[in-house]
Amino acid sequence: MTYPLGLNLAGRAVLVVGGGPDAARRTRSLLAEAALVDLVAPDLHDTLRDLTSSPGLTWHERAFRPGDLDGAWLVFLHVSDSGERERVALAAEERRVLCVADDAAPGPDRAADTRAPVTQVPVTETRVAQDQVSQAPVTQEPGTVALVGGGPGDPGLLTVRGRQLLADADVIVADRLGPTDLLPELARHARIIDVGKRAGYHKYTQDRINETLVEQAKLGLRVVRLKGGDPYVFGRGGEEVEFCRAHGVATQVVPGVTSAISVPAAAGIPVTHRDMTHGFTVITAHQHLRRVPYRDGHTLILMMGVRGLGRNAELLMAAGYPADTPVAVVERGWTPTQRTTVAQLDTIAYVARAREVTAPAVIVVGRVAALAHESSAIPGPQESDQEG
In single-letter form, the type of residue at position 274 comes to R
CB of 136 to ligand SAM, least distance (A): 24
Residue 334 interacts with ligand SAM (CB under 6 A): yes or no? yes
Surface-to-core class of residue 293, CB atoms within 10 Å of its CB (0-12 exposed, 13-18 middle, 19+ buried): exposed
CA dihedral 150, 155, 160, 165 (to 10 degrees): 60
Stretch that binds ligand SAM, among 14-22, 65-73, 110-118, 257-265 (CB under 6 A): 257-265
Contact between 4 and 18 (Cβ < 8 Å)? no
Scanning 117-125, 130-138, 253-261, 339-347 for contacts with ligand SAM by CB under 6 A, the matching segment is 253-261
259 binds ligand SAM (CB under 6 A): yes
Q: Using the rule CB under 6 A, is 360 a contact of ligand SAM?
A: yes
The sign of the dihedral angle between the CA atoms of 310, 312, 315, 316 is: negative
- Select the residue whose beta carbon is closest to ligand SAM and give its number: 229
In whole angstroms, how close is the CB of 375 to ligand SAM at the nearest point?
18
Q: Does 258 bind ligand SAM (CB under 6 A)?
A: yes
Q: Which is nearer to ligand SAM, 75 or 263 (CB)?
A: 263
End-to-end Cα spacing for the chain: 50
Distances (CA, A) of 156 to 180, 189, 235, 317: 13, 20, 20, 38
Please choose, out of 66-74, 77-85, 185-193, 255-263, the segment that lies near ligand SAM by the rule CB under 6 A: 255-263
Active site residue 109: no
Q: Which listed residue (162, 220, 333, 366) binds ligand SAM by CB under 6 A?
A: 333
CA 123 – CA 92 distance, rounded (Å):
41
Nearer to ligand SAM, 20 or 228 (CB): 228
Minimum CB–partner distance for residue 131 and ligand SAM (Å): 27
Asked whether position 359 contacts ligand SAM by CB under 6 A, the answer is yes
- What are residue 60's phi and psi, to 5 degrees? -105, 110
For the question of residue 50 being annotated catalytic, the response is: no
**Subset of 152-181 contacting ligand SAM (CB under 6 A):** 152-153, 177
Quote the Cα angle for 157-22-77, to 5°.
105
**What is the DSSP-derived secondary structure letter of residue 121?**
S
**Which residue out of 68, 175, 230, 346 is catalytically annotated?**
175
- DSSP reduced 3-state for 229: strand
* Contact pattern for ligand SAM over residues 283 through 322, marking x by CB under 6 A: --------------------xx------------------
Sign of the alpha-carbon dihedral angle for 4, 7, 13, 17: positive
At closest approach, how far in Å is the CB of 227 from ligand SAM?
Answer: 6
332 binds ligand SAM (CB under 6 A): yes
Cα torsion 148, 149, 153, 154: sign: negative
Residue 386 vs residues 162, 255, 383: alpha-carbon distances, Å: 50, 48, 5
Q: Which is nearer to ligand SAM, 169 or 363 (CB)?
A: 363
Least distance in Å: CB of 241 to ligand SAM? 14
Residue 362 binds ligand SAM (CB under 6 A): yes
Nearer to ligand SAM among residue 27 and residue 340 (C-beta): 340
Measure the CA–CA gap between 262 and 270, rounded to whole angstroms.
9
Give dist(CA 146, CA 231) in Å, integer.
Answer: 10
- Contacts with ligand SAM by CB under 6 A: the residue count is 24
Q: Catalytic site residues?
A: 175, 197
List residues binding ligand SAM (CB under 6 A). 152-153, 177, 227-230, 233-235, 258-260, 263, 303-304, 330, 332-334, 359-362
